[in-house]
């Protein structure tokens, strides 16, 4: 049970911060299917920083790990501007733009990773080896049955994610900026009539989604894959989209959905490991979160209400 909780949290929380980014984008009115590409490009940027500065910092220093998350956020945010430009400035179809951004991210990061490894390190490879993040355990409370598992072998980035998510919740629901952003997704004409630029608000929201997705992608690179490689595109972006839809574009319910996906994934892995089943069956068991995604969206999202202007191209002359 403890291993299910520990591994489940390490998957669910990065998924959650990606979903928070998606909520920001979609509450502003921009459909964001590009989360998969954004998390991948962010992880690529963070991984690139780690390998290029590997000889600068002393052995065992945590500084490169901390800075890699910053660079992942910058990389994801910068890459998301492609989606924002296509959707907001050029009024492209938002679904098609998201798909194109995802495909482009896989191609670009794979190509650049190979070129950097070949040109800088002389060893052509599609991976940046960055290692695994250290874990921490809270003394005392970790000894409590079941509950203690939430404080055992915790990745530091899990604490960071909760702090960032709390700040994002406050900004979205308790500040003037958040009110304006949410209004852009429900009634952009009213926002425009108040003298606020809908385009700038949506650009900013998409950039935030890219930055948060980049952080989530870097978390997966430090935990699940222990490197940056094409394996980082494991469908987490699409799971995050499912979580925010199931959560009715609200953060707390989206967190619940992410926890369901995370615990389902870790439980399936532990069951497969304990039964010593073949790798083929084990891979099938790991698809449980995606099966749950289909079931949750099919049976529990009928009453959800998306932002009224979600996916609509804003026309300033429309009233």
pLDDT, tens digit (0-9, with 9 covering 90-100), for 35-67? 999 999 999 999 999 999 988 988 878 899 999
> Which residue numbers in the chain have pLDDT < 70?
1, 278-285, 317-319
Query: How far is residue 18's CA from residue 98's CA, in Å, rounded to a whole number?
Result: 15
Residue at 306 is within a domain: no
Q: What is the DSSP letter of 136?
A: B
Query: How far is residue 275's CA from residue 217's CA, in Å, rounded to a whole number?
Result: 31
Residue at 288 is within a domain: yes
Contacts 24+ apart (CB under 8 A), 166-172: 168/20, 168/24, 168/208, 168/212, 168/251, 169/251, 172/23, 172/24, 172/27, 172/251
Q: Domain with 118 in it: what CATH number? A: 1.10.3470
Domains contained in the chain, number: 1
Q: Helix or strand or coil: residue 154?
A: strand
Residue at 318 is within a domain: no
pTM listed for this prediction: 0.95
pLDDT for residue 280: 63
Query: How far is residue 235's CA from residue 287's CA, in Å, rounded to a whole number?
Result: 10
| Range of the structural domain that residue 234 is part of | 2-300
Residue at 228 is within a domain: yes
Query: How far is residue 214's CA from residue 221's CA, in Å, rounded to a whole number?
Result: 10
pLDDT for residue 255: 97
Residue at 316 is within a domain: no
Over its C-alpha atoms, the chain yields an Rg (Å, rounded) of 20
Residue at 309 is within a domain: no
Which residue is associated with the tokens 């009539």?
193
Residue at 148 is within a domain: yes
Residue at 203 is within a domain: yes
In the numeric block, which tokens belong to residue 304? 């959800």
Q: What is the DSSP letter of 89?
A: I
């Amino acid at each position: 049970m403890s291993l299910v909780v520990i591994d489940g949290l390490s998957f669910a929380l990065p998924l959650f911060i990606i979903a928070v980014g998606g909520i920001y984008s979609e509450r502003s009115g921009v459909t964001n299917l590009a989360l998969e590409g954004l998390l991948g490009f962010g992880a690529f940027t963070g991984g690139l920083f780690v390998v290029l500065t590997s000889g600068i910092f002393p052995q065992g220093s945590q500084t490169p790990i901390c800075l890699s998350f910053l660079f992942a956020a910058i990389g994801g945010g910068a890459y998301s501007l492609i989606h924002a430009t296509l959707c907001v400035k050029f009024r492209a179809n938002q679904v098609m733009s998201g798909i194109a951004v995802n495909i482009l991210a896989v191609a670009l990061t794979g190509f650049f990773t190979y070129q950097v490894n070949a040109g800088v390190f002389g060893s052509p490879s599609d991976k940046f080896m960055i290692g695994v993040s250290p874990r921490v355990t809270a003394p005392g409370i970790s000894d409590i049955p079941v509950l203690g598992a939430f404080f055992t072998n915790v990745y530091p980035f899990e604490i960071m994610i909760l702090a960032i998510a709390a700040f994002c919740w406050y900004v979205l629901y308790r500040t003037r900026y958040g009110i304006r952003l949410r209004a852009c997704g429900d009634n952009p004409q009213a926002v425009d009539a108040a003298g606020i630029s809908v385009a700038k608000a949506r650009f900013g929201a998409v950039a935030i989604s890219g930055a948060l997705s980049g952080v989530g992608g870097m978390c997966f690179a430090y935990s699940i894959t222990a490197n940056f490689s094409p394996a980082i595109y494991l469908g987490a972006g699409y799971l995050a989209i499912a979580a925010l839809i199931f959560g009715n574009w609200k953060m707390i319910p989206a967190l619940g959905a992410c926890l369901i996906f995370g615990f389902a994934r870790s439980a399936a892995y532990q069951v497969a490991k304990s039964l010593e089943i073949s790798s083929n069956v084990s891979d099938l068991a790991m698809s449980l979160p995606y099966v749950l995604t289909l079931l949750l969206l099919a049976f529990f999202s009928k009453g959800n209400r998306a932002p009224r202007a979600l996916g609509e191209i804003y026309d300033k002359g429309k009233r």
